[in-house]
């Protein structure tokens, strides 16, 4: 406990080991879907799913450890869902590039972003973006992820006239998703600690 206090200054930051463990578990449960979704996306681009999944795990673990142990910032880092979809369904789709060429472009952009970060130009660019636009980006990404979740559980479906329509709410997956949303919302309204974890575990158990 003393080692953790020296490393992370828990008391100074007004938190406890129990709170941080719950927060870490909640973060993991909330983002572990990327272990299945992103490899499936990249497989559509022609990449081998098993190797992609392994690389995803190691990159996420490494980046998260660097954020926690070196930067001292309690944030889990993983490949982004939006940029992965752009890579799989545009760069390796309509744009006509192979996934090998696409990864080359990703490497070059990574080097450019590293240089921008080291020279502090990245922070200057971020500071120049209006706060309203920053909020809008977060909302847009969250909406995109929520939409993918609703599609996967059957709450929304494709429509030839409106492109998107209400799915079959009688299906077990859709009913579980709706029940999960209501359960987590109720627990959060009641200020129950670990509301998201409890909701995710309960819906997973019910689904099994």
Residue-wise pLDDT tens digits, 17-68: 888 888 888 888 778 878 888 898 899 889 998 899 999 999 999 999 998 8
What proportion of the chain, given as a percentage, has pLDDT over 70? 99
Phi-psi group of 175: left, alpha or beta (phi > 0 → left; psi -120 to 50 → alpha; rest → beta) = alpha
- Summarised one tens digit per residue, pLDDT across range 81-122 is 778 888 888 898 888 899 999 999 999 999 998 899 888 888
**Would you put residue 76 in left (φ > 0), alpha (ψ -120 to 50) or beta?**
beta
- CA dist 73 and 26 (Å) reads 16
Residue-by-residue DSSP string for 3-47:
HHHHHH-TTTTT--HHHHHHHHHHHHHHHTTHHHHHHHHHHHTT-
Q: Which two tokens stand for residue 163?
A: 């492109």
What is the rounded CA–CA span in Å between residue 185 and residue 198?
11
């Amino acid at each position: 406990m003393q080692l953790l206090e020296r490393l992370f200054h828990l008391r100074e930051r007004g938190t406890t080991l129990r709170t941080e463990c719950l927060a870490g578990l909640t973060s993991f449960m909330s983002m572990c879907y990327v272990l299945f979704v992103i490899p499936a996306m990249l497989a559509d681009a022609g990449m081998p799913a098993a190797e992609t999944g392994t690389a995803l795990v190691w990159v996420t673990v490494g980046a998260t450890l660097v954020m926690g142990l070196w930067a001292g910032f309690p944030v889990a880092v993983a490949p982004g869902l939006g940029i992965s979809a752009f890579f799989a369904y545009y760069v390796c789709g309509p744009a006509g590039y192979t996934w090998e060429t696409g990864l080359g472009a990703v490497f070059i952009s990574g080097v450019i972003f590293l240089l921008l970060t080291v020279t502090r130009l990245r922070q200057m660019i971020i500071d120049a973006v209006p706060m309203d636009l920053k909020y809008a980006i977060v909302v847009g990404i969250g909406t995109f992820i929520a939409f993918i979740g609703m599609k996967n559980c059957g709450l929304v479906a494709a429509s030839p006239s409106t492109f998107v329509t209400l799915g079959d709410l009688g299906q077990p997956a859709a009913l579980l998703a709706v029940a999960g949303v209501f359960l987590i919302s109720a627990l959060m309204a009641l200020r129950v600690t670990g509301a998201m974890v409890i909701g995710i575990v309960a819906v997973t158990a019910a689904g099994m």
